[in-house]
A and B are shown apart, each in its own frame.
Chain A
Amino acid sequence: MTSTSKTSKFKVVLLGEGCVGKTSIVLRYCENKFNEKHLSTLQASYLEKKLNIGGKRINLAIWDTAGQERFHALGPIYYRESHGAILVYDITDEDSFMKVKKWVKELRKMLGNEICLCIVGNKIDLEKDRTVHVTRAEDYAQSVGAVHFHTSAKMNKGIEEVFLNLTKRMLAAQDDNTNTAGKQGGSRKSVVIIDDEPLQQSSGCCGSS
């Protein structure tokens, strides 16, 4: 109960291929605006959002990352010290879903269960062109301990729910941490990231794809 008085700060990293609509999702969430008219935000790479859940104040820092395959090797620098990750794919693009799987594998390997994951199938306004099957995506999410969502940034559907769910889980994880470790983020700091490893791994990935 002591934690109610102070603000929890969470870092959320957005991962996903280039054209899946990461930027639109975060803009919708932070500004409730979509790419068409009167945009006041100048950039969508780093945004902060203040939340209040059950009397707890939360400050989300949302970090956008470059989705191009070229920059995949920079992953460990991007998600270092993240509390949560939102992995976005385009439901009409099988490749973007494969890319999400790759990210999940890497995140779980590097950060273990320290990080809360949401997998998001975007562009449900294009349902008729869907190539990634609903059950397949949902089963996969469940098998890796992530929660699956469907969104449409264009129609502003499902976005609020993604962030709310993720935030609640990050809060729960933080409470668990403080209860078991006695000190905040105690176990997080003990994760040692060896930079060389993911570089090697990703070059392998590039070769195979």
Chain B
Amino acid sequence: MNESASLSELLINFLQVQLFEAINLHDQMVVSQLHETLRCMKKLKADSRLVLFTALETDYNRREPYITYLVRCRQSLLATLSFLDKQIQRIDSFKGNCKYYFTSLCVKLFLEQYQDDVREFVNNFQNTSLTDEKNELLEHFLDQLYERISQHPIWQTANDEQLEDAYNAAERSIMSEIYIYAFYPHRDADLHRDLVFHQHIERLLEFITEDHEALQIPKIYRSLAPWPAAQEELASINAYKAPQDKLRCIQRCCSNIMDLLKIANEASVPGADDLVPVLVFVMIKANPPSLLSTIEYINGFYKNRISGEEQYCWMQFSAAVEFLKTLA
């Protein structure tokens, strides 16, 4: 008797606490439900309350396996969901690749129709000597091509994004046609200059290590040396011919370095003080050929179109090359 009284006391207290909580949260629906429950409870005799209490307990125990089952179902559904998300990501990336190759193919077919124009342009380009004249010639020719693409039957129903992709593919294709003449405008002189610079860096390689005082790489980051992934990105720069692809390669190299610096020093966020020395070090280690020509190529044919973070990475890259010139 005593036990049942204290139990029902507890239950009423519990309900009252719930009620105040609901009032605090302005949950009108729950407030009225709890008021009603309390009213019923107070009407019941202590014995009946105990009966009710036991009934609730049995009911709760009976439901428990089902609740466990539901929790497990939910877990496996969440796992499936994240698996599907992964699949969607994969398909998206696959879609991107397909789109890229499809557009490149369309542009190739398109350019075949204008083969003679392209050949004439390449000839003109070859015979122009000044970089800004070359750039003007290129921009003019590309504008012409864009105009033709937008009117071509292949792209009749294309949206802006598809057109933009086609322009990029056309530019890529044209840049690879004129690559040699744009990248090494003075042929042997450029090749020789690049070679001299390349050898200069090779000599640096002999004595520059991650703790060399000329670089002042902060101590905390030295354990990450020699940043092989960033080196690989940079080493592949000459595999790309279009300026925008070369730039993306440089940006990947920089963000790769930054990501790793962030891991090495959890307590702080890496800034330029940390990036620059490491970038210089990575450039010495990777030593991609034709660095000087790369600088002039991008400044000559793409500079006006670089913006945002890409521009920042380009600045740091150019600065690093300048710095390498001063090291001896």
A→B interface (CB under 8 Å): 14, 18, 22-23, 26-27, 35-36, 39, 41-46, 48, 61, 63-68, 70-71, 73-74, 77-78, 80, 195, 199
15 contacts between A and B (CB under 8 A): A18-B273, A23-B270, A42-B259, A43-B270, A43-B271, A46-B309, A63-B312, A66-B276, A67-B273, A68-B273, A70-B215, A70-B216, A71-B276, A77-B318, A78-B315
Segment 246-271 of B: residues with Cβ below 8 Å from A: 255, 258-259, 261-262, 267-271
Q: Considering the chains assembled together, what is the distance between the CA atoms of A70 and B326 in angstroms?
A: 10
Task: Tell me if B323 and A44 are in contact (CB < 8 A).
Answer: no
**B-side binding surface: helix, strand, loop or mixed?**
helix
The reply to whether A43 and B262 form a contact with Cβ atoms under 8 Å apart is yes
Q: Are A45 and B270 in contact (CB under 8 A)?
A: yes
Complex CA distance for A62 and B310, rounded to whole angstroms? 13
Contact of A45 among B215, B258, B268, B308 (CB under 8 A): B258
Interface positions of B from 303 to 320, Cβ below 8 Å from A: 308-309, 312-313, 315-316, 318-319
Answer yes or no: B272 CB below 8 A from chain A CBs. Answer: yes
In the complex formed, the residue of A with least CB distance to B266 is: A39
Decide: B267 and A45 in contact? CB cutoff 8 A: no
* Chain B residues near A73 (CB-CB < 8 A): 322-323, 326
Interface residue? B275 (CB, 8 A): yes
Tell me whether B319 and A23 are in contact (CB under 8 A): no
Q: How far is the CB of B268 from chain A (nearest CB, A)?
A: 5
Q: Closest approach, in angstroms, between the C-beta of A70 and any C-beta of chain B?
A: 6
Given contacts A46-B309, A48-B308, A73-B326, contact A23 B268 (CB under 8 A): yes
B277 touches A (CB below 8 Å): yes
CB of B178 to closest CB in A, whole Å: 27
A35 to B268, CA, bound (A): 5
Residue B98 at the A interface, CB < 8 A? Answer: no
Q: Is B214 positioned at the interface, with any CB of A under 8 Å from its CB?
A: yes
Interface centre among B271, B313, B318, B323 (most CB of A within 10 A): B271
- B312 and chain A: residue at smallest CB distance: A46
> Contacts A39-B269, A66-B275, A77-B315 known; A61 to B308 CB distance under 8 Å?
yes
Q: Bound state CA distance, A44 and B315, in angstroms?
A: 15
**B322, A41: Cβ atoms under 8 Å?**
no
With contacts A35-B267, A43-B269, A66-B272 taken as known, whether A78 is within 8 angstroms of B309 at the C-beta atoms is no
Complex partner residue of B271 from A45, A48, A61, A70, CB under 8 angstroms:
A45
Return chain A residues, CB-CB under 8 Å to B268.
23, 35
